[in-house]
Chains A and B, each alone.
Chain A
Amino acid sequence: MINIIWACMAIVGIVFAMFNGTMDEVNKAIFESASEAVTLAISLISILVFWLGIMKIAENAGILKGIAKVFRPVIVKLFPEIPKDHPAIGYIVSNITANLFGLGNAATPLGIKAMEEMKKLSGSETASRSMITFLALNTSGLTLVPTTVIAIRMQYNSVSPTEIVGTTIIASGVAVTSAILIDRFYHYKSTWRK
């Protein structure tokens, strides 16, 4: 599905540009966005190096296991495929915590590490059930504090920059719940077929 979507975005864009007279912009966008993507990947290095370094210490000092123990009951229900004492649980919990506090920079490396642990469990290049559940949680954006939005609102002199925190929490709660339900639906649908 991703192969088709990826190709179609570019195909539709190029064909549309033929008739819309925007080929110039498209041509420019191809090279500008490619270098933009490289800049993004490079800027991720600092965050990845820092957080994976710290988390390596946390893992060896037994902190990750401690965190996992506290939240185990909830996580085990959401991820029935992951063994109870597996390090993946520690990383999943850390990723969720970082997301909740709007620390996207810290959340990404932790999430990738969680994915790596889940890949060790499944040992294949196909997404496992746990991975999809985990990404469903992440894409639906688990938020308590939308830090970036609050900053923008402050910049434009909002009377109450944080007044949207309440609606954001409710909306994100609805999003997360429906993501989990949809995820479950597709999981059971895929097992029925077998």
Chain B
Amino acid sequence: MEIITLVSTWLIPTFLLVVLSVAVIKRVPAYELFVEGGKEGVKMAFSLLPFLVGMIVSIAILRSSGALEAFINSITPLLQMVGIPADIMPLALVRPISGTAALGMTTELIATHGPDSFIGRLASTMQGSTDTTLYILTVYFGAVGIRKMRYALKVGLLADLIAILSTIIIVKIVFG
């Protein structure tokens, strides 16, 4: 496992080294190209700003009203019958919707149950193994101006459902 963390810290600096060296050898105008590419970045950030504001505000209304919490509480007993631990439910439901909220919940679960508890391991795996579907669709489609998402949201959310269920099964098998 140490090798993997080593690779992830070395990857970016090494990549930079390779890119810049090749640019120098091939006599490509590196600095000018950097600035040119960077300008696109500024434009992109501003073009996706309204998409982010819209999505984040709507999610914030749902969360702050207490509706999300009430919904989770109402279905928890049902899920407990199937063997899904109640503590994990809020995280499982929030993970595809809000990245910051999910990270907060994961941290809280790890803090209260301990990182090496069953819930702690389950939360860790759940946080790491799927991404925030709504955020990714908002940012990626927003930045390039796609208006019709077609079946992208359905695919993302269904995959999240499978991911969450399989995470619970996998962690149960591996850590018992």
Residues of A within 8 A of B (CB): 1-2, 5-7, 9-10, 12-14, 16-17, 20, 22, 25-26, 28-30, 32-34, 36-38, 40-42, 44-45, 47-58, 60-63, 101-103, 106, 108-109, 111-112, 115-116, 119, 125-127, 131-132, 135-136, 138-141, 143-150, 152-153, 156-168, 170-172, 174-175, 178-179, 182-183, 186-187, 190
Contact = CB atoms under 8 A, between A and B. Distances in A.
Given A48-B42, A175-B162, 17 more contacts: A12-B67, A13-B63, A16-B70, A20-B70, A41-B52, A50-B41, A57-B28, A143-B128, A149-B106, A156-B110, A157-B115, A164-B121, A165-B1, A165-B4, A171-B125, A171-B166, A178-B163
B50 to A, nearest CB: 9
Contacts of B11: 101, 103
Contacts of B115: 152-153, 156-158, 161
Contacts of A136: 152, 155-156, 159
A126 B146 contact: yes
28 contacts: A6-B54, A6-B58, A10-B61, A16-B65, A17-B66, A20-B66, A26-B65, A36-B60, A41-B45, A42-B45, A50-B41, A57-B19, A103-B11, A112-B140, A127-B152, A132-B151, A135-B136, A138-B140, A139-B96, A143-B128, A156-B114, A158-B115, A160-B116, A165-B1, A171-B125, A171-B130, A175-B129, A179-B159
A146 B146 contact: no
A139 B152 CA distance: 10
Contact of B58 (A10, A16, A158): A10
A50 B19 CA distance: 13
Given A161-B115, A171-B167, A125 B16 contact: no
A171 B19 CA distance: 33
Contacts of B153: 1-2, 5
Closest 4 CB pairs of A and B: A56-B37, A146-B128, A48-B41, A33-B60
Interface stretch (B74-82, B83-91, B168-176): B168-176
Contacts of B160: 139-140, 175
Contacts of B175: 167
Contact of B22 (A6, A62, A131, A152): A62
A158 B110 CA distance: 9
B68 to A, nearest CB: 8
A125 to B, nearest CB: 5
B16 A54 contact: yes
Given A26-B64, A26-B65, A57-B34, A145 B4 contact: yes
